[in-house]
């Protein structure tokens, strides 16, 4: 079965820490995305990438950066974690094989204390 794997299901970090969220897909998809999900706000796009070493800002990129050194891996970086970045983070990938519908990972619930 095709997969998008997020490295951690739950993370607790301290304010000011640098946080890495990792996402790996095994479908050879060109496109990868990072979202955060908060109650009442739906899914909000942070960053996305259409190719290796390419990245584009989504709707809420402030406080985040990303890295895509290999096609299968897309990392989200919180440069200096803050409590308002406590959230559920979802990674997704898409490609022509699935009509560009997203395949999501299981999510990482990040708590910043």
Nearer to other proteins, 17 or 59 (CB): 59
- 21, 36, 55, 105: residue in contact with other proteins (rule CB under 8 A): 105
Using the rule CB under 8 A, is 2 a contact of other proteins? no
Quote the strand ranges of the chain, DSSP E. Answer: 4-6, 10-13, 19-25, 31-38, 42-49, 56-57, 64-70, 73-78, 87-94, 103-104, 108-112
What's the CA gap between 104 and 5, in Å, rounded? 8
The interface with other proteins within residues 21-60 (CB under 8 A) comprises 31, 33, 40-43, 45, 48, 50, 58-59
Q: Does 103 bind other proteins (CB under 8 A)?
A: yes
Burial (0-12, 13-18, 19+ Cβ within 10 Å), 87: buried
Question: How near is the Cβ of 31 to other proteins at its closest, in Å?
Answer: 6
CB atoms under 10 Å from CB of 46, counted, come to: 22
**Contact letters (x/-) for other proteins, 82-101, by CB under 8 A?**
--------x-x-x---xxxx
Shortest distance, CB of residue 106 to other proteins, whole angstroms? 5
- Per rule CB under 8 A, count of chain residues that contact other proteins: 26
């Amino acid at each position: 079965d095709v997969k998008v794997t997020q490295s951690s299901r739950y993370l607790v970090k301290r304010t000011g820490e640098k946080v890495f969220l990792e996402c790996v897909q095994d479908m050879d998809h060109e496109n990868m995305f990072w979202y955060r999900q908060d109650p009442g706000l739906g899914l909000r796009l942070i960053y996305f990438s259409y190719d290796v070493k390419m990245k584009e800002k989504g709707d809420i990129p402030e406080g985040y950066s990303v890295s895509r050194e290999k096609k299968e891996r897309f990392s989200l970086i919180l440069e200096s974690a803050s409590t308002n970045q406590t959230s559920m983070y979802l990674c997704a990938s898409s490609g022509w094989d699935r009509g560009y519908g997203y395949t999501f990972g299981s999510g990482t619930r990040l708590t910043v204390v």
